[in-house]
Amino acid sequence: MSNILVVDDDTNILEVIRTRLEANGYYVEMQSDPLDALECIKEREFDVIVSDIRMPQIDGMEFLRRVQRLRWDVPVIMLTAYGTIPSAVEAMKHGAFHYLTKPFDGKHLVMEIEEALEERGRRREPAAGKIGKYFPGVYGVSPKMKALYPLLERIIESDSTVLIQGESGTGKELMAQMIHYNGGRKDKRIVVMDCGATPGSLIESELFGHAKGSFTNATESRMGLFEMAHKGTLFLDEISSLPLDLQTRLLRVLQSGQIKRVGDNVMRKVDVRVLGATNLDLKEQVRKGEFRLDLYYRLAVLRVDLPPLRERREDIPLLADYFLQTFARRMRKDPLQWGDGVMEALSASDWPGNIRELKNIIEAAVVFSEGGTLSMEALEWAGFSEEESQQFLLPGLAGLKPAEFSLPEYLERQERALILTALQENNWVQKDAAEQLGISPRVLCYKIKKLKIDTASTPI
Ligand SMILES: Nc1ncnc2c1ncn2[C@@H]1O[C@H](COP(=O)(O)OP(=O)(O)OP(=O)(O)O)[C@@H](O)[C@H]1O
Ligand SMILES: [Mg+2]
């Protein structure tokens, strides 16, 4: 029996709908508060959701967005009073399945639900699989991503080590999180170690911990990341940077399931699933003698090769839309639309920095967007150029006409874009961003306030 959730603050309407749907053989659950409804959606599966568009707690659009974040594959039918049709149309643009204008004929509602159930069947095709449902960010409809799904489902169910390979910015870390948060260890931690960013001499004690007095600064004994990740997952990013001697130690740990803190003699049992990532071809590193073959085999029991964005162009519109709406929301703008030619330009680009580059460009372009549209100009101001070979220009200097902006306005936009980029590149650590920009942290802090830059933004 199909499970339908109906959300409306008007309990009379709820009753009418319930009677009708039950008479047609559906199981119906009703909620008058959308926030309660979201809690139910987290806990239970529904086949179709029917929701009013105007509700006092949160409006139907916001409700729709939150539902989509939780369950992308459940069709949502919106109910609208005569005056709110424009918002219903807007809701359709953002993925609502359909809308009905109140008062509506019960027969129509049943017909819509039938259609929505069919649609749900299509959305749940094995190729799209569970992946999208679990983790709305990592979707893809391109043949290369679809080909990965059956493998990913097996990876999620298993407990073996996994090697994730892909160019920079293809989503390796996100993939590691997806694997962790959907697998059997999801209630425990995923601990991340960036082997590329940690000096070789420190990696050993970071990973395995150390005993008191084992080296000059070891005033206390300390637990390493392996122990912290006990019963959970350890994500070793840039694993190709691991020095050879540590590769040997890591292999031993993987084989024995035991670690020894530096300067200690006690063997400690650890139960950790290891996921490794690299943007180099690890096999090639093996050939060059820089990576141990036996460790390679041990790690690559399961291997995910994330395709570069240029080999999965079909996914660019999906990802771009996702980033557009996410950043619009975060910058408290109304939902944005794509201007003429923008999606074509985005889809045609080669994206050497892959998804990260696409995401950063869209974030900056959202800052420049005006009047509910993200135009080609905004994209160019954000630093996008259709000519890969174009030399480095301050974003926006190309093709700008003086009449479009006053000089101070233009400079302010440039300043904002540069600051935003520096903050992003430095993980929002203002001190580091200030250094990169060649200004003092105090001046940066002042500018952030003046330009109203939202520092609550963090990477998605
Ligand atoms: N499928 C996706 N949906 C939404 N966002 C994504 C997706 N894949 C990647 N991203 C975003 O793109 C950025 C880069 O992803 P991530 O850090 O996982 O890449 P990476 O392969 O680890 O890159 P690097 O090799 O540079 O470390 C992140 O901000 C991430 O949130
Ligand atoms: Mg990474």
DSSP 265-287: --EEE---EEEEEESS-HHHHHH
Residue 422 lies in a domain: yes
Verify that 179 and 97 share a domain, yes or no. Answer: no
Inter-residue contact 413 to 396 (CB < 8 Å): yes
Spacing, Cα 111 to ligand 2 middle (Å): 46
The reported pLDDT for the residue numbered 281 is 92
Picking from 307, 340, 367, the residue at the C-terminal end of a domain is 307
Higher pLDDT, 218 or 176: 176
Residue 108 lies in a domain: yes
Spacing, Cα 36 to ligand 1 middle (Å): 32
**What is the number of domains present in the chain?**
3
Higher pLDDT, 217 or 261: 261
Residue 460 lies in a domain: no
DSSP class of 137 = G
Higher pLDDT, 25 or 89: 25
How far is Cα of residue 260 from the mean position of the Cα atoms in its chain?
Answer: 36
Pairing relationship of beta strands 222-223 and 267-269 according to DSSP bridges: unpaired
Query: Is the C-alpha dihedral spanning 305, 193, 182, 323 positive or negative?
Result: negative
Q: Tell me the C-alpha distance between 226 and 262, whole Å.
A: 13
Residue 343 lies in a domain: yes
Verify that 241 and 102 share a domain, yes or no. Answer: no
Mean pLDDT (whole number) for 113-121: 85
The reported pLDDT for the residue numbered 395 is 47
Spacing, Cα 343 to ligand 2 middle (Å): 26
Is residue 80's pLDDT more than 90? no
Inter-residue contact 307 to 284 (CB < 8 Å): no
The reported pLDDT for the residue numbered 286 is 95
Q: What is the largest CA-CA distance in the chain?
A: 79
3-class SS of residue 97: coil
pLDDT (tens digit per residue) in 161-204: 999 999 999 999 989 988 998 889 988 888 999 998 888 888 99
Q: In this structure, what CATH number is given to the domain that contains residue 265?
A: 3.40.50.300
Query: Would you state the structure tokens that stand for residue 181, as one six-digit string?
Result: 């948060």
Picking from 307, 332, 365, the residue at the C-terminal end of a domain is 307
* Radius of gyration, alpha carbons of the chain: 26
The reported pLDDT for the residue numbered 290 is 94
How does residue 389 score in pLDDT terms, banded at 50, 70 and 90?
very low
How does residue 357 score in pLDDT terms, banded at 50, 70 and 90?
very high
Beta bridge partners of 305: 165
Verify that 286 and 326 share a domain, yes or no. Answer: no
Verify that 105 and 161 share a domain, yes or no. Answer: no
Residue 52 belongs to domain spanning:
3-123
Predicted TM-score (pTM) of the model is: 0.61
The reported pLDDT for the residue numbered 391 is 32
Mean pLDDT (whole number) for 334-362: 91
Higher pLDDT, 52 or 389: 52
Residue 379 lies in a domain: yes
The residue to mutate among 69, 162, 173, having the most atoms of ligand 1 within 8 angstroms of its beta carbon, is 173
Verify that 26 and 116 share a domain, yes or no. Answer: yes
Mean pLDDT (whole number) for 25-30: 94
The reported pLDDT for the residue numbered 188 is 87
Is residue 43's pLDDT more than 60? yes
Neighbours of ion ligand 2 (CB under 5 A): 173
Verify that 319 and 298 share a domain, yes or no. Answer: no
Please tell me if the CB atom of residue 123 comes closer than 6 angstroms to any atom of ligand 1.
no
Spacing, Cα 309 to ligand 1 middle (Å): 11
How does residue 289 score in pLDDT terms, banded at 50, 70 and 90?
very high
Verify that 97 and 9 share a domain, yes or no. Answer: yes
Query: Would you state the structure tokens that stand for residue 378, as one six-digit string?
Result: 């905004």
Picking from 71, 99, 123, the residue at the C-terminal end of a domain is 123
Residue 29 lies in a domain: yes
H helix intervals, 102-194: 106-123, 129-134, 143-157, 172-182
Q: Tell me the C-alpha distance between 458 and 460, whole Å.
A: 6
In sequence order, which residues have a C-beta less than 8 Å from that of residue 251 and are 6 or more positions away? Answer: 292, 294, 295, 298
Is residue 314's pLDDT more than 70? yes
Residue type (1 letter), 433: A
Q: Tell me the C-alpha distance between 276 and 282, whole Å.
A: 11
Q: For 5-66, give the DSSP string.
A: EEE-S-HHHHHHHHHHHHHTT-EEEEESSHHHHHHHHHHS--SEEEEES--SSS-HHHHHHH
Q: Atom 24, ligand 1: which residue's CA is nearest?
A: 168
Is residue 331's pLDDT more than 60? yes
Ligand number, closest to the Cα atom of 363 = 1
Token pair 């030399």 is found at 391
Is residue 372's pLDDT more than 70? yes
Verify that 74 and 97 share a domain, yes or no. Answer: yes
Verify that 153 and 288 share a domain, yes or no. Answer: yes
Helix (H) or strand (E) holding 222: strand 222-223
3-class SS of residue 163: strand
The reported pLDDT for the residue numbered 126 is 40
Q: Tell me the C-alpha distance between 73 and 48, whole Å.
A: 9
Verify that 303 and 316 share a domain, yes or no. Answer: no
CA-based angle 197:198:200, to the nearest 5? 125
Higher pLDDT, 278 or 425: 278
Residue 222 lies in a domain: yes
How does residue 137 score in pLDDT terms, banded at 50, 70 and 90?
low
Cα–Cα distances in angstroms (integers) from residue 140 to residues 54, 72, 127, 152, 208, in the given order:
32, 13, 10, 13, 37
Least confident of 151-160, 207-216, 252-261, 281-290: 207-216
Residue 456 lies in a domain: no
3-class SS of residue 168: coil
Verify that 136 and 265 share a domain, yes or no. Answer: yes
Mean pLDDT (whole number) for 447-453: 82
Q: Tell me the C-alpha distance between 411 and 367, whole Å.
A: 14
Please tell me if the CB atom of residue 359 comes closer than 6 angstroms to any atom of ligand 1.
yes
3-class SS of residue 337: strand
Q: In this structure, what CATH number is given to the domain that contains residue 85?
A: 3.40.50.2300
Q: In this structure, what CATH number is given to the domain that contains residue 440?
A: 1.10.8.60
Least confident of 11-25, 116-130, 183-197: 116-130
Q: What is the average pLDDT value for the chain, to the nearest integer? A: 85
Share of the chain above pLDDT 70, in %: 90
Verify that 337 and 293 share a domain, yes or no. Answer: no
Ligand number, closest to the Cα atom of 167 = 1
The reported pLDDT for the residue numbered 238 is 94
Residue type (1 letter), 190: I
